[in-house]
Amino acid sequence: MTKTAKVIVVGAGPVGSVAAYRLAEMGVDVILLEAYPNCPEDLRASTLHPPTLEMLNEFGIVDDLIDMGLKAPVYQYRNRQSGETFAFDLTELQDMTDYPYRLQCEQFKLARLLTGKLQDHPHGEVLFSRRVLSVEQDGSGVTLKVESTREIETYRADFVIACDGAGSTVRKWLNVGFEGFTYPEKFVTFSTERPLEDYFDDLALVNYVADPDEWMVLLRVPSVWRVLVPAHDGNDEFIVSDQKKQEVFKHLINDPDVVTEHRTIYNVHQRVADSYFTDRVILAGDSAHLNNPLGGFGMNSGIHDVFNLTDGLRDVLTTGKGDHIAPLQKYERQRQGVMRAFVQAQTIKNKKALESRDADGQKRHQEELTAILADDERRRDYLLGQAMYKSRQLEASID
């Protein structure tokens, strides 16, 4: 038997969960398909930026997220060699947002919160342990073949939104190019319950640490500190070995014997899909774009994608009238445009600033941060960029 819905969303990560829940709230019948038996307990993204919180406020869930997370109004750049610290305070944006902070809340908490609500929603259905295998479309809709624990099932929808992440099966079926590059080094995170704030003066909850020997990011989430470092050498077994862990924590706090809760390796890419839709099948989130995590833009951008997309398709989906191609072309122009001009450029710049190995490069970065902090206008402009308001402005400026 073929199961049908107006829209099928593939992937119950943060982006797919937001897309599906928003459609259900618009009154559109939606099925959300997830390959795993639950939203994966993924610690990758932990930062929600103010514009994203403003969007999620539409669902009345921000207080729940705040209860499950940590407010980080201040984030820092630290230079490990000079010892200098540069603190940026998002409270300065309180005249324009109710959320003048980064909310540190792991991505799986958002996904699980929304899939839980969607399961009880009259317009929503969440089906776990459903892995999409193939996608075919014709003039009136899209057919999916889906592997469940017992059989191969068939689904049919007017539209499919593919939020199935970096390795997107749907993107591959569409044969859409995913141009860009993969960094030669891997990124590894070690998480620990050790209170790292005891080892540094005034450590913020989010810290970008420049160091020509080993740059790092120190991020606090409610249960642990996460230490992100690049791994240039060695195979995966070495990268998560006790030896590597001991090197990292000896260098960080002069104590190699820190106990870790997780050790996770990531391949990191800068890539943007050549097109964001093919007729009735649409890409959003990591299936459409990837960037390094310095700045915390990936998941936030994916959520911005699906707000733009569902706004654009609202009339077509709720009235059944009008053509879907023009709104999807606008979605692509705006969201692909922002991804190329802002997110890719900013994340590449953020990484270069941290990893610079030459003394002049480090000095230039410190001088730039000092100058920005000293100048009210430049500081605000900088905060608007890093808090993703500028990406929203850019999106609105593209017709």
CA distance linking residue 34 with residue 131, whole number of Å: 6
Only one of the segments 6-14, 62-70, 368-376, 390-398 lies at the binding site for ligand FAD (rule: CB under 6 A); that segment is: 6-14
Question: Do 62 and 56 meet the contact criterion of CB atoms below 8 Å apart?
Answer: yes
What per-residue string of b and e applies to 79-100 under the rule 16 or more CB within 10 Å gives b?
Answer: bbeeeebbebbbebbeeebebb
DSSP SS3 for 210: strand
For residue 10, what are the CA distances in angstroms to 6, 16, 169, 284, 339? 13, 7, 10, 10, 21
44 binds ligand FAD, rule: CB under 6 A: yes
Footprint on residues 328-357 left by ligand FAD (CB under 6 A): none
Of residues 68, 11, 72, 28, the one with CA closest to residue 386: 72
Phi, psi of 149 (to 5 degrees): -70, -20
Pick the binder of ligand FAD from 6, 7, 16, 137 (CB under 6 A): 16
- Minimum distance between the CB of residue 314 and ligand FAD, rounded to whole angstroms? 21
How many angstroms separate the CA atoms of 11 and 15, rounded? 8
Q: Does residue 53 sit in helix, strand or coil?
A: helix
Q: Which of 14, 100, 124, 327 binds ligand FAD (CB under 6 A)?
A: 14
Kindly state the number of chain residues that form the binding site for ligand FAD, as judged by CB under 6 A.
38
Which string of x and - marks every residue 278-307 that binds ligand FAD (by CB under 6 A)?
-------xx------x--xxxxx-x-----
Judge contact between 250 and 235, C-beta under 8 A.
no
* Contact call for residue 45 and ligand FAD (CB under 6 A): yes
Where does this chain touch ligand FAD (CB under 6 A) — which range of 33-41, 250-258, 331-339, 366-374?
33-41
Q: How far is the CB of 339 from ligand FAD (least distance, A)?
A: 11
The answer to whether 10 contacts ligand FAD (rule: CB under 6 A) is: yes
Task: Map the footprint of ligand FAD across residues 167-206, applying CB under 6 A.
Answer: 169, 187, 189
Applying the rule CB under 6 A, the residues between 358 and 387 that interact with ligand FAD are none
Q: Looking at residues 135 to 174 of the shown chain, list those that interact with ligand FAD (rule: CB under 6 A).
A: 163-165, 169
Q: Which is nearer to ligand FAD, 306 or 362 (CB)?
A: 306
Angle between helices 376-386 and 389-397 (to 10 degrees): 80
DSSP H or E stretch at residue 249: helix 242-253
Cβ at position 311, least distance to ligand FAD in Å: 18
Strands 102-104 and 124-127: unpaired
Handedness of CA 52, 54, 59, 60 (dihedral sign): positive
**Closest CA relative to residue 116, chosen from 28, 241, 21:** 21
Among 6, 22, 31, 47, binds ligand FAD (CB under 6 A): 47
- What is the distance between the alpha carbons of residues 18 and 12, in angstroms, rounded to a whole number? 9
Two tokens at 316? 């077509």
Instruction: Write down the least CB distance from residue 301 to ligand FAD, Å.
Output: 7
Nearer to ligand FAD, 171 or 280 (CB): 171
Least distance (Å) between residue 97 CB and ligand FAD: 17
Between 45 and 316, CB nearer to ligand FAD: 45
As a residue count, the chain comes to 399
Nearest distance from C-beta of residue 187 to ligand FAD, angstroms: 6
Minimum distance of ligand FAD from residue 363's CB (angstroms): 28
Closest CA to 69 of 105, 100, 98, 34: 105
Nearer to ligand FAD, 291 or 362 (CB): 291
Span 79-118, contacts to ligand FAD by CB under 6 A? 107
Binding site for ligand FAD (CB under 6 A): 10-16, 33-36, 39-40, 42, 44-47, 107, 131-132, 163-165, 169, 187, 189, 228, 266, 285-286, 293, 296-300, 302
